[in-house]
Structure 1
Amino acid sequence: MNIALWIAAGLLAAVALTGGITKTFVPKEKLAAAHGGGWTGDASAGFVKTLGVLEILAAAGLILSAALDVAPILVPVTAACWIALMVGAMITHGRRGETGLVLLNVVYLALAAFIAWGRFGPESFT
Protein backbone atom coordinates (compact mmCIF):
# COMPACT_ATOMS: atom_id res chain seq x y z
CA MET A 1 0.00 0.00 0.00
CA ASN A 2 2.84 2.40 0.84
CA ILE A 3 4.31 1.97 -2.65
CA ALA A 4 0.93 2.56 -4.29
CA LEU A 5 0.51 5.76 -2.26
CA TRP A 6 3.98 6.98 -3.28
CA ILE A 7 3.20 6.24 -6.94
CA ALA A 8 -0.13 8.05 -6.71
CA ALA A 9 1.54 11.01 -5.00
CA GLY A 10 4.26 11.08 -7.66
CA LEU A 11 1.73 11.04 -10.49
CA LEU A 12 -0.36 13.76 -8.89
CA ALA A 13 2.75 15.82 -8.14
CA ALA A 14 3.81 15.57 -11.79
CA VAL A 15 0.37 16.78 -12.88
CA ALA A 16 0.46 19.62 -10.35
CA LEU A 17 3.99 20.67 -11.29
CA THR A 18 3.25 20.64 -15.02
CA GLY A 19 0.03 22.60 -14.61
CA GLY A 20 1.60 24.97 -12.13
CA ILE A 21 4.59 25.81 -14.30
CA THR A 22 2.32 26.32 -17.29
CA LYS A 23 -0.11 28.59 -15.45
CA THR A 24 2.69 30.55 -13.80
CA PHE A 25 4.97 31.16 -16.77
CA VAL A 26 2.89 30.91 -19.97
CA PRO A 27 1.06 34.12 -20.91
CA LYS A 28 -2.68 34.04 -20.24
CA GLU A 29 -3.51 34.73 -23.89
CA LYS A 30 -1.53 31.67 -25.00
CA LEU A 31 -3.19 29.54 -22.31
CA ALA A 32 -6.65 30.70 -23.41
CA ALA A 33 -5.92 29.55 -26.97
CA ALA A 34 -4.80 26.06 -25.86
CA HIS A 35 -7.12 23.06 -25.52
CA GLY A 36 -8.64 23.09 -22.05
CA GLY A 37 -7.34 26.55 -21.29
CA GLY A 38 -10.32 28.52 -22.51
CA TRP A 39 -11.40 29.22 -18.93
CA THR A 40 -8.35 31.44 -18.48
CA GLY A 41 -9.88 33.95 -20.89
CA ASP A 42 -12.55 34.62 -18.25
CA ALA A 43 -10.08 34.92 -15.36
CA SER A 44 -7.59 37.60 -14.41
CA ALA A 45 -3.90 37.02 -15.06
CA GLY A 46 -3.24 37.28 -11.32
CA PHE A 47 -5.79 34.55 -10.56
CA VAL A 48 -4.27 32.20 -13.15
CA LYS A 49 -0.74 32.81 -11.87
CA THR A 50 -1.88 32.32 -8.26
CA LEU A 51 -3.38 28.95 -9.18
CA GLY A 52 -0.10 28.09 -10.86
CA VAL A 53 1.94 28.91 -7.78
CA LEU A 54 -0.48 26.91 -5.60
CA GLU A 55 -0.11 23.93 -7.92
CA ILE A 56 3.69 24.13 -7.71
CA LEU A 57 3.41 24.23 -3.91
CA ALA A 58 1.04 21.24 -4.06
CA ALA A 59 3.64 19.26 -6.00
CA ALA A 60 6.18 20.04 -3.29
CA GLY A 61 3.71 19.22 -0.52
CA LEU A 62 2.84 15.85 -2.01
CA ILE A 63 6.47 14.69 -2.28
CA LEU A 64 9.08 16.80 -0.53
CA SER A 65 7.49 17.07 2.89
CA ALA A 66 7.49 13.28 3.29
CA ALA A 67 10.69 12.55 1.36
CA LEU A 68 12.64 15.04 3.46
CA ASP A 69 10.71 14.11 6.63
CA VAL A 70 9.79 17.76 7.19
CA ALA A 71 6.14 17.97 8.27
CA PRO A 72 4.97 14.81 6.47
CA ILE A 73 1.41 15.60 7.60
CA LEU A 74 1.41 18.01 4.66
CA VAL A 75 1.01 15.07 2.25
CA PRO A 76 -2.59 14.20 3.16
CA VAL A 77 -3.43 17.85 3.86
CA THR A 78 -2.20 18.77 0.37
CA ALA A 79 -4.18 15.89 -1.11
CA ALA A 80 -7.32 17.14 0.65
CA CYS A 81 -6.72 20.64 -0.72
CA TRP A 82 -6.24 19.13 -4.19
CA ILE A 83 -9.69 17.54 -3.86
CA ALA A 84 -11.18 21.01 -3.31
CA LEU A 85 -9.24 22.35 -6.28
CA MET A 86 -10.53 19.54 -8.51
CA VAL A 87 -14.13 20.20 -7.45
CA GLY A 88 -13.65 23.79 -8.60
CA ALA A 89 -12.05 22.62 -11.84
CA MET A 90 -14.93 20.22 -12.50
CA ILE A 91 -17.46 22.98 -11.95
CA THR A 92 -15.55 25.34 -14.26
CA HIS A 93 -15.13 22.79 -17.05
CA GLY A 94 -18.68 21.52 -16.59
CA ARG A 95 -20.10 25.00 -17.09
CA ARG A 96 -18.08 25.26 -20.29
CA GLY A 97 -19.36 21.89 -21.53
CA GLU A 98 -15.89 20.30 -21.45
CA THR A 99 -16.97 16.81 -20.40
CA GLY A 100 -13.62 15.18 -21.18
CA LEU A 101 -11.80 17.55 -18.87
CA VAL A 102 -14.38 17.00 -16.14
CA LEU A 103 -13.66 13.26 -16.34
CA LEU A 104 -9.92 13.90 -16.18
CA ASN A 105 -10.47 16.04 -13.07
CA VAL A 106 -12.45 13.15 -11.55
CA VAL A 107 -9.39 10.91 -12.04
CA TYR A 108 -7.15 13.48 -10.35
CA LEU A 109 -9.69 13.83 -7.54
CA ALA A 110 -9.75 10.05 -7.06
CA LEU A 111 -5.94 9.94 -6.84
CA ALA A 112 -5.98 12.74 -4.26
CA ALA A 113 -8.73 11.02 -2.27
CA PHE A 114 -6.71 7.78 -2.25
CA ILE A 115 -3.64 9.66 -1.00
CA ALA A 116 -5.58 11.55 1.67
CA TRP A 117 -7.31 8.37 2.87
CA GLY A 118 -4.08 6.36 2.89
CA ARG A 119 -1.89 8.97 4.55
CA PHE A 120 -4.45 10.06 7.13
CA GLY A 121 -5.32 6.41 7.83
CA PRO A 122 -3.61 3.06 7.38
CA GLU A 123 -0.28 4.29 5.98
CA SER A 124 0.14 7.43 8.05
CA PHE A 125 3.67 8.80 8.39
CA THR A 126 3.23 9.25 12.13
Structure 2
Amino acid sequence: MNTTLWIIAGVLAMAFFAAGLMKLSQPKEKLAASGMAWAEDFSVGAVKAIGAVEVIGALGLILPAVLGKAPVLAAWAALGLAVTMVGAAAVHLRRKEAKAVPVNLVLFILAAVVAWARFGPYAF
Protein backbone atom coordinates (compact mmCIF):
# COMPACT_ATOMS: atom_id res chain seq x y z
CA MET A 1 0.00 0.00 0.00
CA ASN A 2 2.89 2.36 0.72
CA THR A 3 4.09 2.02 -2.87
CA THR A 4 0.60 2.77 -4.16
CA LEU A 5 0.43 5.88 -1.99
CA TRP A 6 3.79 7.06 -3.29
CA ILE A 7 2.60 6.58 -6.87
CA ILE A 8 -0.62 8.49 -6.23
CA ALA A 9 1.29 11.26 -4.44
CA GLY A 10 3.78 11.44 -7.31
CA VAL A 11 1.04 11.73 -9.93
CA LEU A 12 -0.74 14.38 -7.86
CA ALA A 13 2.51 16.28 -7.34
CA MET A 14 3.26 16.33 -11.06
CA ALA A 15 -0.26 17.45 -11.96
CA PHE A 16 -0.46 20.20 -9.34
CA PHE A 17 3.11 21.38 -9.92
CA ALA A 18 2.51 21.74 -13.66
CA ALA A 19 -0.87 23.45 -13.20
CA GLY A 20 0.49 25.78 -10.54
CA LEU A 21 3.58 26.66 -12.52
CA MET A 22 1.40 27.51 -15.51
CA LYS A 23 -0.72 29.85 -13.36
CA LEU A 24 2.39 31.48 -11.93
CA SER A 25 4.23 31.94 -15.22
CA GLN A 26 1.52 32.98 -17.68
CA PRO A 27 -0.60 36.13 -17.77
CA LYS A 28 -4.20 35.79 -16.66
CA GLU A 29 -5.44 36.68 -20.14
CA LYS A 30 -3.42 33.89 -21.73
CA LEU A 31 -4.76 31.40 -19.19
CA ALA A 32 -8.33 32.49 -19.92
CA ALA A 33 -7.75 32.22 -23.67
CA SER A 34 -6.26 28.73 -23.30
CA GLY A 35 -9.34 27.22 -21.70
CA MET A 36 -9.15 28.48 -18.13
CA ALA A 37 -12.03 30.91 -18.50
CA TRP A 38 -12.55 30.89 -14.73
CA ALA A 39 -9.44 33.09 -14.44
CA GLU A 40 -11.52 36.00 -15.73
CA ASP A 41 -13.46 35.96 -12.44
CA PHE A 42 -10.32 36.43 -10.33
CA SER A 43 -7.71 39.13 -9.93
CA VAL A 44 -4.18 38.57 -11.19
CA GLY A 45 -3.02 38.21 -7.59
CA ALA A 46 -5.65 35.60 -6.83
CA VAL A 47 -4.70 33.52 -9.88
CA LYS A 48 -1.03 33.72 -8.87
CA ALA A 49 -1.95 32.76 -5.29
CA ILE A 50 -3.87 29.71 -6.53
CA GLY A 51 -0.82 28.75 -8.58
CA ALA A 52 1.45 29.18 -5.56
CA VAL A 53 -0.85 27.03 -3.41
CA GLU A 54 -0.73 24.29 -6.04
CA VAL A 55 3.07 24.40 -6.36
CA ILE A 56 3.59 24.43 -2.58
CA GLY A 57 1.07 21.60 -2.19
CA ALA A 58 2.84 19.55 -4.85
CA LEU A 59 6.20 20.02 -3.15
CA GLY A 60 4.60 19.29 0.22
CA LEU A 61 3.32 15.93 -0.99
CA ILE A 62 6.85 14.69 -1.67
CA LEU A 63 9.65 16.66 -0.03
CA PRO A 64 8.85 16.28 3.70
CA ALA A 65 8.64 12.51 3.42
CA VAL A 66 11.68 12.16 1.17
CA LEU A 67 13.78 14.43 3.38
CA GLY A 68 12.47 12.90 6.60
CA LYS A 69 11.73 16.36 7.99
CA ALA A 70 8.20 16.67 9.45
CA PRO A 71 6.71 13.99 7.16
CA VAL A 72 3.23 14.69 8.55
CA LEU A 73 3.33 17.75 6.27
CA ALA A 74 2.73 15.39 3.33
CA ALA A 75 -0.66 14.50 4.80
CA TRP A 76 -1.46 18.17 5.41
CA ALA A 77 -0.45 19.01 1.83
CA ALA A 78 -2.77 16.30 0.50
CA LEU A 79 -5.61 17.64 2.65
CA GLY A 80 -4.95 21.17 1.43
CA LEU A 81 -5.01 20.07 -2.20
CA ALA A 82 -8.26 18.18 -1.61
CA VAL A 83 -9.81 21.37 -0.21
CA THR A 84 -8.45 23.29 -3.20
CA MET A 85 -10.30 20.90 -5.50
CA VAL A 86 -13.55 21.45 -3.61
CA GLY A 87 -13.11 25.16 -4.26
CA ALA A 88 -12.27 24.55 -7.91
CA ALA A 89 -15.37 22.42 -8.39
CA ALA A 90 -17.51 25.11 -6.74
CA VAL A 91 -16.15 27.74 -9.13
CA HIS A 92 -16.78 25.52 -12.15
CA LEU A 93 -20.31 24.74 -11.03
CA ARG A 94 -21.04 28.42 -10.38
CA ARG A 95 -19.80 29.22 -13.89
CA LYS A 96 -21.89 26.36 -15.33
CA GLU A 97 -18.73 24.54 -16.47
CA ALA A 98 -19.88 21.10 -15.36
CA LYS A 99 -17.54 19.38 -17.84
CA ALA A 100 -14.55 20.44 -15.73
CA VAL A 101 -15.90 19.05 -12.45
CA PRO A 102 -15.01 15.36 -13.05
CA VAL A 103 -11.32 16.29 -13.19
CA ASN A 104 -11.71 18.15 -9.89
CA LEU A 105 -13.50 15.15 -8.44
CA VAL A 106 -10.77 12.69 -9.45
CA LEU A 107 -8.03 14.93 -8.07
CA PHE A 108 -10.06 15.43 -4.88
CA ILE A 109 -10.50 11.68 -4.39
CA LEU A 110 -6.81 10.96 -4.96
CA ALA A 111 -5.72 13.74 -2.59
CA ALA A 112 -8.27 12.66 0.02
CA VAL A 113 -7.03 9.06 -0.14
CA VAL A 114 -3.44 10.19 0.38
CA ALA A 115 -4.48 12.46 3.26
CA TRP A 116 -6.55 9.73 4.93
CA ALA A 117 -3.80 7.13 4.57
CA ARG A 118 -0.94 9.39 5.68
CA PHE A 119 -2.87 10.71 8.68
CA GLY A 120 -4.04 7.21 9.55
CA PRO A 121 -2.91 3.66 8.94
CA TYR A 122 -0.01 4.42 6.59
CA ALA A 123 1.58 7.41 8.31
CA PHE A 124 5.32 7.89 7.92
TM-score (norm 1): 0.95
Find the residue that maps to 1:22 and give its secondary structure.
Answer: helix
CA distance in 2, matches of 1:51, 1:32: 14
SS in structure 2 at match of 1:70 = coil
Write the letter of the residue equivalent to 2:28. Answer: K
Consecutive unaligned residues in structure 2, runs of 5 or more: none
Structure 2-normalised TM-score? 0.97
Q: Which residue of 2 aligns with 1:40?
A: 39
Q: Which runs of 5+ in 1 are unaligned?
A: none
Q: What's 2:15 paired with?
A: 15
Distance in 1 between residues matched to 2:81 and 2:96, nearest whole Å:
22
Structure 2 CA distance for aligned equivalents of residues 10 and 19 of structure 1: 14
Matches within 5 A, 1:65-80: 65-80=64-79
* Cα distance, 1:96 vs structure 2: 1.6
Matches of 1:93 and 1:67 in 2, distance apart?
34
Query: Matched residues in 1 for 2:113 and 2:66: separation?
Result: 18
Percent of paired sites with the same residue = 47
Counterpart amino acid of 1:87?
V
The 1-side partners of 2:120 and 2:74 are apart by 12
**Structure-to-structure mapping, 1:1-126, within 5 angstroms:** 1-35=1-35, 37-125=36-124
Letter matched to residue 117 of structure 2: G
Number of corresponding residues: 124
